[in-house]
């Protein structure tokens, strides 16, 4: 996990037992998260959301994980469960990536928990009406607190891609792309991403 900044000391506050119990009891057809001590349950993503997240992961995995047509050096996962901070916040980004040297054994071994305690280097949230306020509010704050260096927001209905970089404790919006642009976007600027592929049927 990225070291905490001196002005952001680690809290000793923990999630309440009732919230943790409700998280564990969440139905498998729901996405469960704990953000700032509050349980959030969301239905599985709607089709436009699921399609864009899957396509984006596919476009990045080949060049950046497998190293085919790109530099490699990354581990990229769909919907990993992240336990971040001392509370902990339990966050599920749509897609997330770690530089390989920080997560050399992504699969783990026998007895390895399903979740990850190490904050990713990049996270992507696919925005929807159900999740937009959460993605743009507490999840952005948690990612910043934990030192996630890059964040993307993809809106499949508006067909936009917003690229953020963490500077200090704040998010800097680097670029807003839309439509069928061909873009180079941090931290994956080594390849050109065709946005039209994300919106394709």
For the chain, which domains are there? 46-199 (3.90.1570.10)
- Model pLDDT, residue 10: 53
Q: What is the distance between the alpha carbons of residues 177 and 165, in angstroms, rounded to a whole number?
A: 15
- How much is the pLDDT for 63? 96
C-alpha distance across the termini of the chain, in Å: 38
- Return the pLDDT at 11: 59
How confident is the model at residue 126, as a pLDDT?
96
Angle at 79 between CA 180 and CA 134, to 5 degrees: 80
Q: Distance (Å, rounded) from C-alpha 66 to C-alpha 39? A: 36
- Give the per-residue pLDDT at 149: 98
Note the pLDDT of residue 5.
42
pTM of the model: 0.90
pLDDT value of residue 85: 95
For the chain, list residues with pLDDT below 50. Answer: 1-9
């Amino acid at each position: 996990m990225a070291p905490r900044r001196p002005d952001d000391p680690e809290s000793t506050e923990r999630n309440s037992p009732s919230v943790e119990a409700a998280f564990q009891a969440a139905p498998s057809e729901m996405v469960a998260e704990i953000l700032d001590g509050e349980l959030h349950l969301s239905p599985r993503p709607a089709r436009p959301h699921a399609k864009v997240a899957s396509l984006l992961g596919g476009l990045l995995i080949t060049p950046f994980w497998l190293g085919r047509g790109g530099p490699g050096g990354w581990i990229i996962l769909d919907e990993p469960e992240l336990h971040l901070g001392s509370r902990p916040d339990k966050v599920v980004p749509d897609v997330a990536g770690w530089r390989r040297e920080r997560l050399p054994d992504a699969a783990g071994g026998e007895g390895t928990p399903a979740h990850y305690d190490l904050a990713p280097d990049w996270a992507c949230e696919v925005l929807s009406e159900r999740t937009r306020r959460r993605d743009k509010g507490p999840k952005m704050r948690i990612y910043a607190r934990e030192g996630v260096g890059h964040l993307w927001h993809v809106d499949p209905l508006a067909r936009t891609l917003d690229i953020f970089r963490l500077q200090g404790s704040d998010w800097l919006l680097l670029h807003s792309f839309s439509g069928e642009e061909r873009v180079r976007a941090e931290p994956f600027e080594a390849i050109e991403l065709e946005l039209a592929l994300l919106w394709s049927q």
